[in-house]
Structure 1
């Protein structure tokens, strides 16, 4: 754990976020870094008020505008995504992982957020499937539409929740 209480993986991602901001001429302040770290450490989509509660452990005077300003900055910089369905935030792994760490993201071009949201456990998995982006872009062109931002959200069950659901009837049959 780091001095801020984040895992070494999160610290590496925060350092990468800092470098991304510097390269773009913006600044990842200590407060923004803390909010981003909390989003990354959550391990699932996290709401602004949950972030505020966690932030108040180190910043007693933190108020909702504090968190919302930090989240607005992080959204603008592409370091987090808002999962609209859940009104919650997740770190953008496309921006924060390293190309050589086996993340599976295509770092060569623009990024379109795609999420698989589990209605069982609440997890959200960011995927990076170029065919989804290409298909949506082609449909938009045919309609004469020019999207500014694209986020695809699919709701269902993750593999663990699917397995647990499938196991329940079998357990009752044997009970």
Structure 2
């Protein structure tokens, strides 16, 4: 790991793994870090293979005025995100039926339950058209992988049984439309 990454990781208070709302340091510069469309993280063009480090940086990721930053109490670096910062890696439906919960796990270990705090929506991702995604936290979204979207679409069609209705998926008592 380079000195800059060591410094950034070392600037976090003990026990802190999430950017705090009251952290507001001045911009320290741009870090040659990129999150690819597939959710893989790169530093100086090389893949970041240490999962614990990726999770640490994902925890201090912030979106402000359309730009992504890694923020600690004393430093703030802009980074590049090619699409959305997180990507779904696992989708599970708990208690199938009218009281079901759709649980989605991201590439950095965030686990969210589709519902009022984590709605399914469609947003532009980088230069791409609107894509299905789920709100994770603080304006940060997770891209719903195509296979997971198809899994939800299949369930929605099974549930509706009506070819004229708009397909949607039920989770936590809320219906989420599967279209833009």
More strand by share: 2
Q: Which bracket does the TM-score occupy, shorter chain normalised?
A: under 0.3
> TM (normalized to structure 1)?
0.27
More helix by share: 1
